């Protein structure tokens, strides 16, 4: 669960970085931040979905 939350925090920070770099018109950084946002966001959601719910 801690791994999923950590990756979710990183994904949120990558989202903020993507928006900031769009404003600065630095499209190379937009690409890296956008891809990082998608990858970390996907892994965070899937980690929380698969192993985050307690089993009964």
Structural domain boundaries enclosing 34: 2-51
- pLDDT for 31: 96
Q: Does residue 11 belong to any structural domain of this protein?
A: yes
Average pLDDT over residues 10-30: 96
Q: Does residue 32 belong to any structural domain of this protein?
A: yes
Q: Does residue 33 belong to any structural domain of this protein?
A: yes
Q: Does residue 56 belong to any structural domain of this protein?
A: no
* Helix (H) or strand (E) run with residue 24 in it: helix 2-24
Q: Does residue 34 belong to any structural domain of this protein?
A: yes
Total domains in the chain come to 1
Distances (CA, A) of 25 to 20, 21, 33, 53: 9, 6, 13, 40
Percent of the chain with pLDDT over 70: 91
Quote the DSSP letter at residue 53: S
Q: Does residue 35 belong to any structural domain of this protein?
A: yes
Average pLDDT over residues 17-30: 96
């Amino acid at each position: 669960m801690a791994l999923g939350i950590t990756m979710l925090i990183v994904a949120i920070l990558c989202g903020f970085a993507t928006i900031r770099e769009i404003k600065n018109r630095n499209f190379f950084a937009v690409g890296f931040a956008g891809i990082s946002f998608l990858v970390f966001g996907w892994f965070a959601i899937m980690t929380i979905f698969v192993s985050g719910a307690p089993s009964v």
